[in-house]
Homo-oligomer: A and B are copies of this chain.
Amino acid sequence: MPWPKSIITTTNKFVVTNNFKIQISNKDQGKVNYAATKFLRRLSNRTGIFLKEGFPFKKDNNSALKITFDTVAQPSLGVDESYTLEVNATNIQLNAKTDIGAIRGLETLLQLLKTTANESYFTGTKINDAPRFLWRGLLIDAARHFQPVAVIKRNLEAMAAVKMNVFHWHLTDDQGFRIESKVYPKLHKLASDGLYYTQHQIKNVVTYATRLGIRVIPEIDVPGHASAILTAYPELGSKDNYTYSLQRNAGVFDPTLNPTIDKTYKFLENLFTEVSSLFPDKYFHIGGDENEGKHWTENKKIAAFKKKHQLKTNHDLQTYFNIKLEKILSKLGKKLMGWDEIMTKNMPTTAVIHSWRGTNEGLKESTLIAAAKKGYPTVLSNGYYIDRMQSVVHHYKVDPIGNAKLTPAQRANILGGEATMWGELVTPLTIDSRIWPRTAAIAERFWSPKNVTDIDHMFKRLSVVSFQLEELGITHIRNKDVILRNLTQNQPTKSLEVLSAISEPLKIYTRNAGGTEYQTYSPFTLFADACTADAPDALQFNSYVNQYITQPTVKKKQQLTYFFKKWISGYKAFQELKNNTKLQKIAPLYKNLNQVSGLFLNALKSGKSNAELTSALKKLSRPVEDVEIVIVNALEKLNKSFQ
Contact = CB atoms under 8 A, between A and B. Distances in A.
B478 A463 contact: no
A116 B51 contact: no
Nearest to A117: B579
Interface in A489-525: 489-490, 518-525
A478 B432 CA distance: 15
Given A118-B584, A200-B200, A526 B48 contact: yes
A55 B54 CA distance: 48
A44 interface: yes
A41 B521 contact: yes
A49 interface: yes
Contacts of A120: 580-581
A481 interface: yes
A481 B482 contact: no
Interface stretch (A3-11, A352-360, A464-472): A464-472
A54 B248 contact: yes
Contacts of A585: 48
Contacts of A204: 198
Interface string A196-228: 001010001000000000000000000000000
Given A470-B485, A490-B463, A54 B523 contact: no
A450 to B, nearest CB: 30
A231 to B, nearest CB: 14
Interface residues of A, number: 59
Contacts of A118: 581, 584
A116 B579 contact: yes
Contact of A482 (B41, B470, B579): B470
A131 to B, nearest CB: 27
A477 B475 CA distance: 13
A307 interface: no
Nearest to A194: B34
A208 to B, nearest CB: 11
A582 interface: yes
A16 to B, nearest CB: 10
A241 B30 CA distance: 30
A230 to B, nearest CB: 20
A71 interface: no
Contact of A580 (B115, B519, B525, B579): B115
Contact of A525 (B45, B51, B477, B582): B45
B45 A523 contact: yes
A455 interface: no
A512 to B, nearest CB: 12
A49 B522 CA distance: 8
A148 interface: yes
The winner among A193, A248, A580, A585 for most chain B CB atoms within 10 A is A580
A362 to B, nearest CB: 33
9 contacts: A40-B521, A48-B526, A51-B521, A54-B521, A115-B489, A117-B584, A119-B581, A148-B150, A478-B481
Given A46-B525, A55-B521, A115-B489, 14 more contacts: A45-B524, A45-B525, A47-B523, A48-B525, A48-B582, A50-B522, A51-B521, A54-B520, A54-B521, A117-B580, A118-B581, A467-B490, A470-B485, A475-B478
